[in-house]
Amino acid sequence: MRTTRWKDPVVIYDGRIRITRSSPEEAMNWLVHVRDQNSGKWRNAWQPCRAVHEVKLPADEARSAVMLAAHNKH
């Protein structure tokens, strides 16, 4: 396992607060608290973050999936 920081973090607004995620591991921590874990967008964000965690995928590939999940959540 490795921790890989993104050059530009993902910023998530939940209506009350701003959440900043700077790595796939931090994104996974956010994703485990998302209510709709059955959505395709959730799975499309979780799977690449997990692959980065397992050193099977570059971190930047997970970032775009997390951005889609975060921005389509609201």
Q: What is the pLDDT of residue 35?
A: 83
**CA–CA separation, 58 vs 74, rounded Å?**
27
Sign (positive/negative) of CA torsion 38, 29, 63, 71? positive
pTM over 0.75: yes
In the numeric block, the tokens 């530009």 are attached to 8
What is the per-residue pLDDT for 20?
93
Write the pLDDT tens digit of every residue in 9-39.
Answer: 999 887 888 999 999 999 999 999 888 888 8
Q: For the purposes of burial, counting CB atoms within 10 Å of the CB of 16, is it exposed (0-12), middle (13-18) or buried (19 or more)? A: exposed
